[in-house]
Structure 1
Amino acid sequence: MKSFIAIAVLLVASLAITTAEDDFCYSNVVQACSNSKAGVFDCNSKFGGISNSENNLNAFMKKKLATSYDYMLLQTHFDSYQKNRPGFKKLFNGLSDESWDETVALIKHITKRGGVVDFTGFGTDRLSAVGSEKLEIDELHALAVALDAEKKLGNDAIKVHQHASHLNHQEGKVSYDPELTQFMEEKFLEKQATTIRKLSGYANDLKKLMSVNDPSLNVYLFDEYLAKQ
C-alpha cells in the first residue's frame, strides 16, 4: 500500500512538472494539437545561454573556415616547383587540416545545441597576404602571417568564452553557459596556445638563420627540419 501511494505521489509530481509554465515544448505541442494553424517553435535542444552566444560561435566558425582555406593556398604555394619547400608545405597542410577539423567541430556544436549554422559573409576575414590574386610571399613572412592569424583566432576564442562565462542579463537574455565554456577550453584555447608557441618559435629561429648575407642554405635546412616534424 505504501509503495502504491509513493508511486502515485511521484506521478502527480511528474505531471505537475510537465505542466509547468516553463515547459515551452509541452505547451507548444498542446497548442499545436488543439489548433491546426499553430506551430511548434520551442521543441528544440536550446538551453542555458546558447541563444545569446550563437552569433559569436557562427562568426568564430567562419573565421576558422576562411583561415583553413588560406593555409591551403600557402601549402600549394610552397609545394610548387618554383618554391619546392616540402617542410613548409607540411606545416601549412597541418594547420589547414586543424582549422578544418575545428570548423567541423564548431558546426556540430552549434547544431547540437539547437542553433543554426550561418555562412553569411563568409570569406570577408581572409588573410591579407593570401587574399591577393597573385600570391608572393617568402618563408619568414608566411610564418609571420600564420602567427598573426592564430593570435587573432585565439583572441576570438577568448571572446566567445568570456561572453559565455558571465551572468550577463541583457534585455532578458542570459549569456552564461558553462557547457559552452568547457567546449571552448577543451577544443580551442589550449590548442591555440600550443600553435601560437610553435609558430613564434619557428619565426624567431628562421629570422636568426636569415640574418646572413646568403640565407638560402639555412632556409633549405630549416625546411628539411620542418619536413621531419
Structure 2
Amino acid sequence: MMKVLGIVALFMVLGAHGDLQCEHRAPNVPKEWIDMQTSCVSAVRSHVMEELRAAMQYMAMGAHFSRDQINRPGFANLFFKAASEEREHAIKLIEYLLMRGELTSEVSNMITRNMSPNVTNWASGASALKDALMLEASVTKKIRNLIKVCEDDPANFNDYHLVDYLTGDFLTEQYEGQRDLAGKLSSLEKLMNKHGALGEFLFDKKLM
C-alpha cells in the first residue's frame, strides 16, 4: 500500500511541475536502414495468414479426434502439436518483419481475415494424415513462391538474408515434416490393411 501511495505522490509532483505528459512526439529515427521491398513485405504478411490458416485447420483436426465418440488421443496430440508449430511459424515471420523495421503499424490487420478450417470431420486417421500431408505440401509451395518474390523483386533487390532464412529454416522443417507424415501414413495403412480398425487403434497408441 505504501508503495502505491509513493507512486501516486511521484506522479502528483511531476504533474505539478509540468513534466508529466500523456503523449509524446514520434521519434525522428532515420529510415535508411529499412530496405525491404514492398512486394516482399506484402508476400511475407500474406504468408503469415497462410501459417495461421494451417494452424486453424490442425486445431480442427485435433478437436475432431478429441471428441468422445472418436477418442483418438494420439492423433489429437499430433495435430494440436502441429497447430502450435504453425502458430510459431507465423510469430517468427512477424518477429522477422519487426527486426527489419516493418510492421510499425496495422499489425492487428494481419489476423482479421476469415481463417475458418475447410474441413472439420474425417472418416479415419488415415484420411486426416492425407489431408495433413496435402496441407504441408501446399504451405511448402507457398513458401517457395514467397522466396521467389523476395529473390526476384521487380526493383532487382535480392533479399538474400530473408531468402536464406526461409530456405534454411522454414523449408528444411517443411520437408522433414512432409517425410514424417508420409511415413506415418504408410505405417498406418499397412496396419489397417492387416488389422482393420484395430490397426488404427494400435497406431493411435503408438502416437501417444
Q: Normalized against structure 2, the TM-score is what? A: 0.76
| Structure with the higher helix share, 1 or 2 | 2
Deviation at 1:104, TM superposition (A): 0.6
Q: Is 1:148 the equivalent of 2:129?
A: no
Q: Give the alignment of 1:119-198 within 5 angstroms.
A: 119=110, 122-123=113-114, 127-130=117-120, 135-166=121-152, 168=153, 170=154, 173-198=155-180
Deviation at 1:95, TM superposition (A): 0.4
Provide the C-alpha distance between the structure 2 equivalents of 1:127 and 1:140, rounded to a whole number of angstroms. Answer: 18
Identity of counterpart residues, as a percentage? 23
Counterpart secondary structure, 1:53: helix
Write the deviation string for residues 71-106 of structure 1: whole angstroms up to 9, x where unpaired.
112112111211111110111011011101111101
Counterpart secondary structure, 1:81: coil
Distance 1:120 1:226, change over 3 A: closer
Q: Is 1:215 the equivalent of 2:196?
A: yes
Distance 1:120 1:99, change over 3 A: closer
Q: Is 1:225 the equivalent of 2:206?
A: yes
Superposition misfits of 4+ residues, deviation over 3 angstroms: none
Gaps of 5+ in 2: 1-27
Aligned residues: 178
What amino acid sits opposite 1:61 in the alignment?
A: V
Write the deviation string for residues 25-66 of structure 1: whole angstroms up to 9, x where unpaired.
xxxxxxxxxxxxxxx79637421x443301110111101011
Q: Give the alignment of 1:75-154 within 5 angstroms.
A: 75-116=62-103, 117=107, 118-119=109-110, 122-123=113-114, 127-130=117-120, 135-154=121-140
Aligned pair partner of 1:202 in 163, 171, 184: 184
Larger radius of gyration: 1
Gaps of 5+ in 1: 1-39
Corresponding position of 1:6: none
What amino acid sits opposite 1:220 in the alignment?
A: F
Write the deviation string for residues 112-138 of structure 1: whole angstroms up to 9, x where unpaired.
2222344277335x55323xxxx3442
Aligned pair partner of 2:31 in 17, 31, 43: 43
Contact 2:57 2:119 in 1 (8 A): no
